[in-house]
């Protein structure tokens, strides 16, 4: 199985400042078609998770452009250009290359 490792696991942030989360996989998620099969999900407090970024760098519908995904192969990054208070929650990366699907441990983003 592909193991996903996120860092940091806790990220205190200041509103208006940037934030960055790393996600690494034990196997390359780069498919021969050029896509990276890595998605990001956000679980806001008390809510169900929601899709944020798909195929490494594509924002899901309705996701603000302050969110961006980058990376390829085994190393990926989610960046928030300017954190807003509504961005608090737990961010998960998940590989979509094969089953069983696997999530990272989650990164808890909270306001300082």
Partner 1 sequence: EVQLVESGGDLVKPGGSLRLSCGVSGMNFIAAWMSWVRQAPGKGLEWVGRIKSKGSGGTTDYGAPVKGRFTISRDDSKNTLYLQMDSLKTEDTGLYYCTHLIYAGAYGVGEPQLASWGQGTLVTVSS
Residue 39 makes contact with partner 1 by CB under 8 A: yes
Distances (CA, A) of 80 to 29, 33, 99: 22, 28, 29
Separation between Cα atoms, residue 99 and residue 5, nearest integer Å:
17
Residue 54 makes contact with partner 1 by CB under 8 A: yes
* Pair 108, 10: CB distance under 8 Å: yes
Separation between Cα atoms, residue 97 and residue 108, nearest integer Å:
25
Residue 26 makes contact with partner 1 by CB under 8 A: no
Residue (72 or 82) nearer to partner 1, CB: 72
Residue 55 makes contact with partner 1 by CB under 8 A: yes
Residue (11 or 51) nearer to partner 1, CB: 51
Q: Which of 5, 7, 28, 60 binds partner 1 (CB under 8 A)?
A: 60
Residue 76 makes contact with partner 1 by CB under 8 A: no
10 Å CB burial of residue 36 (0-12, 13-18, 19+) is buried
Residues at the interface with partner 1 (CB under 8 A)? 1, 31, 33, 35, 37, 39, 41, 43, 48-51, 54-55, 58, 60, 90, 92, 94, 96-106
């Amino acid at each position: 199985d592909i193991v996903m490792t996120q860092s940091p696991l806790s990220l205190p942030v200041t509103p208006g400042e940037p934030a960055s989360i790393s996600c690494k996989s034990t196997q390359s998620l780069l498919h021969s078609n050029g896509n990276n099969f890595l998605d990001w999900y956000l679980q806001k407090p008390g809510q169900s998770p929601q899709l944020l970024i798909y195929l490494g760098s594509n924002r899901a519908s309705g996701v603000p452009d302050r969110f961006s995904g980058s990376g390829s192969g085994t190393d990926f990054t989610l960046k928030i250009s300017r954190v807003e208070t509504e961005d608090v929650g737990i961010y998960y990366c998940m590989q979509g290359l094969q089953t069983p699907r696997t999530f990272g441990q989650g990164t808890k983003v909270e306001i300082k």
